[in-house]
A = this chain, B = another copy of it.
Amino acid sequence: MQVQTNQSLSVDCAVFGFDGETLKVLLIERPAYNALDRLKLPGSMILENETLPEAAYRVLEEATGLRQRDLYLRQMEIFSDPKRVEGDELAWIRQRHNIHTERVVTVGYYALLKLNGRLIDYTRSKGAQWVEVDRIQRLAMDHKAILTAGLGYLCREMQQSPVAFELLPRKFTIRALQRLFEAVLGIEIDNRNFRKKMLSSGFLQPTGEKEQGVAHKPAEYYTFDRNAYRKALKAKLRMGFIDNWRY
């Protein structure tokens, strides 16, 4: 075993969106090459003058047109198995970038954004597509494993902080919020308990507006009150450190 210099570093992003019913992830179709899987996560080698987060934001802007301020992006784990890219996949990378790399280590990121018609049109124009997470069987290289890790992070984070609202439009119904939790956590949640819990949290602000043109009884729209949340959090942290231990 020895030190190697002909290795490369890349970023790969699991970008999640929610359409009101199902959780979706952004996939890129790459040109056919041998019998390799066509669909992959958006990603890139890092360029010589950029840091890893800069590379990740660049990849996301290329795929979605969104800037840093409009995205929730977090680094997750690093995929450094020496055999994660080999054989035809390594040949594809060498050919695509015209480099003689022997090994590619990739840093996984996950991103959350607000899915809407304009965004879907944009990504489609870039050759990308939004695919329901539950329907994905295989992806290029180890991208299925990266997606699974991203889902794990999202699942944990949604139970620890209000990231759910990064995936919802500014105004949303409690039903949409519940559907999002159900889609991500893979569980069924009792309607009445969920509604009661969310309304009693003090973090949801009624807008007075209701759904229009729906077959069922129109539901009210709410917004997330980030200031109320921050205040409550501050008060909780003041209670003292041992009460906040959680893992």
Residue of B nearest to A240 (CB): B197
Q: Is the Cβ of A51 less than 8 Å from the Cβ of B82?
A: yes
Quick one: given A160-B245, A160-B247, are A48 and B2 in contact (CB under 8 Å)?
A: yes
- The tally of residues in A whose CB lies under 8 Å from a CB in B reads 53
Cβ-defined contact, A161 with B1, below 8 A: no
Given the interface pairs A9-B9, A241-B158, the reply to whether A47 lies near B3 with Cβ below 8 Å is yes
Q: What is the copy number of this chain in the assembly? A: 2
Contacts of A107 in B (CB 8 A): 78
Cβ B1 vs Cβ A50 within 8 A? yes
Instruction: Decide yes or no whether A125 CB sits under 8 A from chain B.
Output: no
With contact pairs A50-B1, A51-B80, A82-B48 given, residues A246 and B244 touching in the complex (Cβ less than 8 Å): yes
Q: Is the beta-carbon distance between A242 and B99 smaller than 8 angstroms? A: no
For A114-130 the 0/1 string (1 means CB < 8 A from B) is: 00000000000000000
Flag whether A205 is at the interface (Cβ < 8 A). no
Residue of B nearest to A198 (CB): B242
Is A247 touching B1 in the complex (CB atoms < 8 A)?
Answer: no
Supposing A8-B5, A45-B3 touch, asked if A246 and B160 sit within 8 A by C-beta, the answer is yes
| Interface: A229 (CB within 8 A) | yes
Are A103 and B161 in contact, CB atoms less than 8 angstroms apart?
no
> Using an 8 Å CB-CB cutoff, how does the interface string of A221-247 with B read, 1 for contact, 0 for none?
000000001000100110011101111
**Residue numbers in B under 8 Å from A9 (CB-CB):** 7, 9, 80, 105
Instruction: Chain B residues near A233: list those with CB within 8 A.
Output: 245-247
Check B103–A78 contact: CB distance below 8 A. Answer: no
Q: How far is the CA of A103 from the CA of B158 in the complex (A)?
A: 36
User: Which of B4, B80, B236 lies in contact with A52, CB distance below 8 A?
Assistant: B80
Q: How far is the CA of A7 from the CA of B241 in the complex (A)?
A: 42
Chain A 59-91 against B: per-residue CB contact (8 Å), 1 yes, 0 no? 000000000000000010110111000000000
Q: Does A101 contact B (CB under 8 A)?
A: yes
Q: Tell me which residues across on chain B come within 8 A of A46, comparing CB atoms.
A: 3, 80
Binary interface encoding of chain A residues 95-119 relative to chain B, with 1 for a CB under 8 A from any of its CBs, else 0: 0010111110101000000000000
Known interface pairs A9-B80, A160-B245, A244-B246; 8 further A-B residue pairs with C-beta atoms within 8 A, sorted by A's residue number:
A3-B8, A3-B46, A3-B99, A7-B8, A75-B78, A158-B241, A159-B244, A233-B246
